[in-house]
Structures are given as C-alpha cells and as structure tokens.
Amino acid sequence: MARVLVVGAGLTGGLCAALLKQKYSVSVTVWEQARGLGGRMNTSCSTHNPQCTADLGAQYITCTPSSYAQRHESFYEELLAQGVLKPLTSPIEGLVVKEEDRHFVAPQGISSIVRHYFKKSGVEVSFGHCVTEIYLKDDKWEVCKEVGDSEQFDIIILTMPIPQILQLQGDIKNLISESQKQQLTSVRYSCRFALGLFYDTGTQIDVPWAAQYLPSNPCVRFLSIDNRKRDTDAANTGPSVVVHSTVSFGKENAEKSIEAVQEVILQQVRSLLPGLPPPASTTCHRWTYSQVTQAIPDCPGQMTLHHRPLLMCGGDGFTWSDFDGCLESALCIMEALQPHL
C-alpha cells in the first residue's frame, strides 16, 4: 500500500485527505506545522470560555457561477445537508451582492468545514510537524522535519503557501525546473492582521448590523459581531467581535510585534465603536499569506514537480483563495494522481 504524505492541514489538505481515502487504497499521513487545523479557515476560541469563538480567517463562503459549478455542487449539497454550512441571512453592510452569487456561513465556525473533511477521511493530523527538507532516496521521498526523525513516503502532496514550498531544502531545490520556479515566484499574497475580541456571557453589543465593510478606513477593512454573522445564540457563551485590517495596514506593519499592532487596531475599533465594552480576552493573528492577489495563470490547480516518485503541490496560489479554488485544486490533484495509484 502506497504511503502518501499531505503537508498542510488547511482546506486543500483536508479535501485531499478525504478524497484520497474515498478514491484509493492508500495510507495517508498529514503533517501540519501549526498547533491546530484549518489554515486560513481558522476559528479561535476565548481563553476564558472555549465555547466563545471567532473566525479569524475566512468569514463566509461565496459560491459564484463558474465553468466548474456543476463539478462542485455535490460538495455544497453535502455540507448543507450535514449542517456544516447554511445560507448567510444576517445583514452585512457593504457586501457587494451579485444576483447569481450564493453566500454561506459555518454555524460552528469556519474551521468546522476543514474538520468535516478530516473526520470524513479518518486521518489523524500530526501537529507541530514543520517540513524542512525533502530528499530522493531509493525511489522514495525522505522527508525531514524540524523535530523528530525523518520518514519515507511514496507520494507527497504539498498544500502550504508557495513561499514555504520554495524555502524547502534538500533534493527538491534541484528538482523544480526553472520554468516552474518562475511560475511559483510569480504568485503574490496580501498580508493582513485579524483581531478577535471575546466577551463574557450576557454582554450586549448594540449595533444594527452583523458585519460591515469599511472601505475608507486606513486600518480596519472588516468588522463582524461573529456569533451574529453566523446567526448563532450567544446567550450561554458571550459574543465575539472580529476585526480584519486593510491590506495596506498589513503591509506597513508586517514587521512590527503582534502586541504593538494589536494596540493600534484596538484604538481604531474603540473610535469606530465607542460604546464597545472591554473584552474578557483578545487574540491577534498576522496572516503573512492572507489572500492570493496574483495566482499562477492558466494553472490546472496543481503542479507536478517530479513524476516517479510523485511530488505534487496545489492549493492557494495555484488557484484563488476561496472554497471553490481549493476544491478545484484538490480535484485536480486527484486526477493527476490516478495514473500513479
């Protein structure tokens, strides 16, 4: 039985793990360098009350008409049928509404989508596994990580951000062709900060919206009363607020400490919402690779770096940073895998 390593426990990694177990008789291992799964589909919880959560990454999912809409429809149907997704009905000020677009929220937090696919796969994710080197040895891949022994695999699927792929050491550096390197280095990401504010049970936040976009603020791009956005009851958990910075603010402050950036964002939030009570706890996250601003043009969702043994990469950058993009990338990876399994 072939051993497959999926690097990255975000949406593309979760989809790949589920599809691999569904379609092929293989052994699947998933390594994630962070402490939890989700990637940019991150849901954080309060240190005071783990039931009080906030989506620090993606806020909602937009399904737009596309050439592969029919190819993806069954995935939406499954997530809706199982209650992982539901239609977005809460008011979001400044949301550009197009007639044929459909918007969805995840009632249990956006990371529940990724959890759904890993649960479906039955694969247990190994956290704190940061891949550093990949070597070609006896028709297998030997993969080294920061901590612990190296392991060998028959197939590798890399789903982390492209700059992290380009930083890998070992034989992989010489296996990537010059044309592939040019394609990979052409990808661009925006940088943003996300701030989560968590409140005690019974706290009231008196605003007429669930979320709003702020197109003219130099610091804050998006504000959300997160439980209200998801249309979930916060009576027993307390509300939460999510603040996303602008791209320009993220770029200007990318090298500053999280503590310093958090204080600046908090000052902006207090001016925007002067009646906002002090939170019970806060968390601030720097999204170095927030969203793809320039993807690889005309890419079929994945790139094969080496054929035998197989080494592939896909996800954000090979398509755009959204649910349909990651889904299409995972499906393309499965199609490219077929001749090898």
Q: Give the structural domain span for 180.
A: 1-35+127-187+296-340
Domain assignment present for 108: no
Domain assignment present for 118: no
pLDDT in tens, 171-181: 999 999 999 99
Residue 307 token pair = 């054929």
CB 269 within 8 A of CB 84: no
Q: What phi and psi values does residue 186 have, to the nearest 5 degrees?
A: -80, -15
Q: What's the domain count of the chain? A: 2
- Are both 271 and 156 inside the same structural domain? no
* Cα–Cα distance for residue pair 71/53, rounded to 1 Å: 32
- Could you give the dihedral angle defined by the CA atoms of residues 237, 46, 18 and 163, in that order, rounded to the nearest 10 degrees? 150
pTM above 0.75, yes or no: yes
DSSP 293: E
- Are both 24 and 132 inside the same structural domain? yes
Mean per-residue pLDDT of the chain: 95
- Are both 215 and 281 inside the same structural domain? yes
Query: How confident is residue 299, by pLDDT bands cut at 50, 70 and 90?
Result: confident
pLDDT in tens, 182-196: 999 999 999 999 999
Domain assignment present for 4: yes
Query: How confident is residue 235, by pLDDT bands cut at 50, 70 and 90?
Result: confident
Cβ count within 10 A of residue 231: 14
pLDDT in tens, 120-138: 999 999 999 999 999 999 9
Pairing of strands 155-158, 53-55: unpaired
